[in-house]
């Protein structure tokens, strides 16, 4: 959301964290894109069991936590930026969310049912109710919603651990349902999932909004000691929660990921805090230059998120085979290759352009006008070569 902030006002740390989150989200999404993720199976053996354990410990639930937090923070930055320029803040943000909803629905129906954009856009309207509330009120609501969802998710995880996965997912190649079936899936399963997600996602949105109101990321130099303490506390809690996960893995020949779901969910919060604090400390000590690759991906987060699906589903169509039999470790190698390509392409693109192409279209739709996409220097050089 902070794409709307002028380049000179950008907070580098947010771009770096956002890029890091996009990396992790792709690791989470690929197994369910190809058909060997938890949507389709919950039991793993051999090398897949170890990979699944590592996923649950370090990846699963960690990165959407960061991304949802950043969405709430970005909401505050967007509203403040529009307010400084005396623009109609509520109308602009509403238009922005409606555009994101259209993108999310298209992504869900045309490509993959794991889209999160439609959920973010719908829940984003609830943020408007909290924009003028006090920081204390926002934090209270955030903690309450997150606590309720944590309790609910642990209970549902226990129930689900004794049932087989429904496998009710669409979009797997080479067998793609028609558009009508995918739309029905959106309204049947998608809306049902939203009724549960709203507690957690809105809670994380509000935590980001709270951080914005407290100006955490605008005054990072004031919080270095607090960030260090939080880093160590979150690391300690995460390691403690890892212990029962590892014990379960070594004591069972078949690893059932749902048996660890409660711990996976809780470490999703503690590990996310650790990741963010670690990045902030590294950025403070080393400077932005060493993180320019992550920052480039973060500045084009929406474009990169959509391209990850387009590339993966396109390759599956070309391959036209049952990818669900692919070992999890091969999927991880694939993710690394695509992410390296995205880093290269993002850095190259931003040499000539101010933002990603989808971000540019999103901005144009929000403001109702097409701003210049090219950097002035590159546009001038292009004009000179034409002469």
Give the tens place of pLDDT for each residue, 132-151.
999 999 999 999 999 998 88
Position 383 confidence tier, pLDDT thresholds 50, 70, 90: very low
Tokens of 68: 């949802």
Q: How far is CA 1 from the centre of its chain?
A: 12
Specify the residue for token string 């509000």.
206
pLDDT tens per residue across span 5-53? 333 345 889 999 999 999 999 999 999 999 889 888 889 999 999 999 9
Give residue 30's pLDDT: 95
For range 338-342, the mean pLDDT: 98
Please give the Cα distance from 264 to 268 (Å, whole number): 6
The pLDDT of residue 199 is 92
User: Residue 277: what pLDDT?
Assistant: 96
Res. 190 pLDDT band, cuts 50 70 90: low
Rounded to an integer, what distance in angstroms lies between the CA atom of residue 337 and that of residue 228? 33
Q: Per-residue pLDDT for 254 more than 70?
A: yes
Per-residue pLDDT of 74-124, as tens digits, reads: 999 999 999 999 999 999 999 999 999 999 999 998 888 889 999 999 999
pLDDT value of position 1:
42
Residue 256: name the closest of 88, 41, 76, 71 by CA: 41
In the predicted model, is pLDDT for residue 380 greater than 80?
no
- Rounded to the nearest angstrom, the gap between the alpha carbon of residue 212 and the centroid of all alpha carbons in its chain is 18
Q: Average model confidence (pLDDT) for the chain? A: 88
Model pTM score: 0.89
Q: Which of 227, 246, 301 is CA-nearest to residue 21?
A: 301
* Residue 238 pLDDT exceeds 90: yes
How many structural domains does the chain have?
1
**CA dist list (Å): 321 to 67, 139, 175, 318:** 32, 48, 9, 9
Residues of the domain holding 286? 2-386
Cα–Cα dist 204/130, whole Å: 13
Q: What is the DSSP letter of 374?
A: B
């Amino acid at each position: 959301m902070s794409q709307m902030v002028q380049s000179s006002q950008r907070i580098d740390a947010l771009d770096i964290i956002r890029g890091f989150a996009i990396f992790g989200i792709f690791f989470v999404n690929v197994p369910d894109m190809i058909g060997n993720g938890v949507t389709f199976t919950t039991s793993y053996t051999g090398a897949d069991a170890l990979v699944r354990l590592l996923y649950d410990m370090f990846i699963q639930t960690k990165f959407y936590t960061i991304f949802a937090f950043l969405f709430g923070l970005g909401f505050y930055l967007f509203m403040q930026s529009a307010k400084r320029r005396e623009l109609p803040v509520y109308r602009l943000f509403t238009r922005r969310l409606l555009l994101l909803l259209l993108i999310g629905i298209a992504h869900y129906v045309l490509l993959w049912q794991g889209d999160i954009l439609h959920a973010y856009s719908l829940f984003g309207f609830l943020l408007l109710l909290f924009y003028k509330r006090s920081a204390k009120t926002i934090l209270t609501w955030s903690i309450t919603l997150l606590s309720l969802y944590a309790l609910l998710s642990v209970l549902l995880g226990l129930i689900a651990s004794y049932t087989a996965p429904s496998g009710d997912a669409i979009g797997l190649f080479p067998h793609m349902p028609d558009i009508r079936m995918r739309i029905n899936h959106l309204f049947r399963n998608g809306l049902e999932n939203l009724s549960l997600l709203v507690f957690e996602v809105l809670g994380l949105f509000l935590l980001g909004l709270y951080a914005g109101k407290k100006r955490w990321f605008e005054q990072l130099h004031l919080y270095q000691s607090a960030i260090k303490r939080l880093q160590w506390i979150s690391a300690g809690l995460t390691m403690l929660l890892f212990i029962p996960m590892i014990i379960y893995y070594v004591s069972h020949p078949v690893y059932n990921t749902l048996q660890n779901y409660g711990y996976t969910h809780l470490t999703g919060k503690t590990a996310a805090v650790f990741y963010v604090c670690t990045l902030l400390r590294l950025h403070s000590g080393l400077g932005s230059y060493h993180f320019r690759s992550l920052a480039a991906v973060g500045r084009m987060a929406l474009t990169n998120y959509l391209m990850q699906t387009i590339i993966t589903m396109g390759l599956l169509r070309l391959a036209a085979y049952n990818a669900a039999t692919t070992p999890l470790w091969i999927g991880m190698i694939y993710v690394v290759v695509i992410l390296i390509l995205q880093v290269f392409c993002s850095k190259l693109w931003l040499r000539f352009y101010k933002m990603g192409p989808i971000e540019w279209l999103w901005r144009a739709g929000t403001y109702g006008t097409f701003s210049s996409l090219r950097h002035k220097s590159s546009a001038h050089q292009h004009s000179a070569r034409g002469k």
